[in-house]
């Protein structure tokens, strides 16, 4: 994990561009975890962090686009603070469907992280050795991601697969309903 704190950062505070950690005080100039100065670009060998909310990875300078409509680029800690005013979807509602690390979608269940990533990015990352062939919800997400919702009824398959695609489509629409 990145050890990020979402709300503690004032927009002007320095943070590590490699791991997102905030500078504890002005006397500490290097991130202890990464060994680079606060406010400088990540080392070239570093595994660059991604935003845990919108999944965008920082650029080589350790910066992400501002969500506030300007062309500024921000350290990940400041970008996270912006998400409080610029959410990617209705995560409060999504959490009501969550039980542990699973989420209920229609009549089925799927891994919460995988579903949320799909809702935000439109992509299904079903790798990592999961046995996904028999999971109706993940299959439905893969089909909707690949073919969209318009042509989804061309599949002459079982009713429960069709129902799963409908449930996934409704989840996507509801999650983004209040998007600003």
**What residue ranges bind Zn ion (CB under 5 A)?**
16, 18-19, 21, 31, 33-34, 51, 53-54
CB-wise, 34 or 119, nearer to Zn ion?
34
CB-wise, 4 or 54, nearer to Zn ion?
54
CB-wise, 37 or 166, nearer to Zn ion?
37
* Closest distance of CB 30 from Zn ion, Å: 9
Helix axes 136-147, 159-175, angle to 10 degrees: 70
Find residue 30's DSSP bridge partners.
37
* Closest distance of CB 11 from Zn ion, Å: 15
CB-wise, 44 or 156, nearer to Zn ion?
44
73: part of which helix (H) or strand (E)? strand 73-75
Q: Which residue has the tokens 């998400």?
A: 83
Cβ partners under 8 Å of residue 111, min gap 6? 101, 102, 103, 130
* Closest distance of CB 31 from Zn ion, Å: 3
CA angle 50, 55, 57 (to 5 degrees): 40
State the Cα–Cα distance between residues 142 and 155, nearest whole angstrom. 13
* Closest distance of CB 33 from Zn ion, Å: 4
């Amino acid at each position: 994990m990145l050890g990020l704190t979402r709300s503690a950062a004032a927009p002007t505070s320095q943070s590590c561009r490699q791991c997102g950690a905030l500078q504890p005080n002005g006397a500490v100039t290097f991130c202890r975890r990464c060994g680079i100065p606060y406010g400088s670009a990540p080392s070239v060998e570093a595994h660059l962090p991604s935003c845990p909310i919108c999944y965008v990875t920082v650029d080589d300078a350790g910066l992400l686009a501002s969500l506030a409509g300007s062309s500024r680029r921000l350290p990940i800690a400041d970008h996270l603070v912006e998400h409080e005013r610029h959410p990617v979807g209705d995560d409060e509602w999504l959490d009501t469907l969550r039980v542990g690390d699973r989420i209920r979608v229609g009549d089925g269940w799927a891994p919460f992280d995988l579903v949320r990533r799909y809702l935000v990015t439109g992509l299904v990352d079903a790798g990592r050795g999961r046995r996904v062939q028999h999971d109706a919800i993940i299959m439905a997400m893969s089909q909707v991601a690949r073919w969209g919702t318009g042509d989804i009824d061309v599949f002459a398959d079982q009713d429960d697969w069709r129902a799963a695609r409908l449930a996934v489509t409704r989840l996507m629409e509801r999650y983004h309903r209040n998007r600003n």
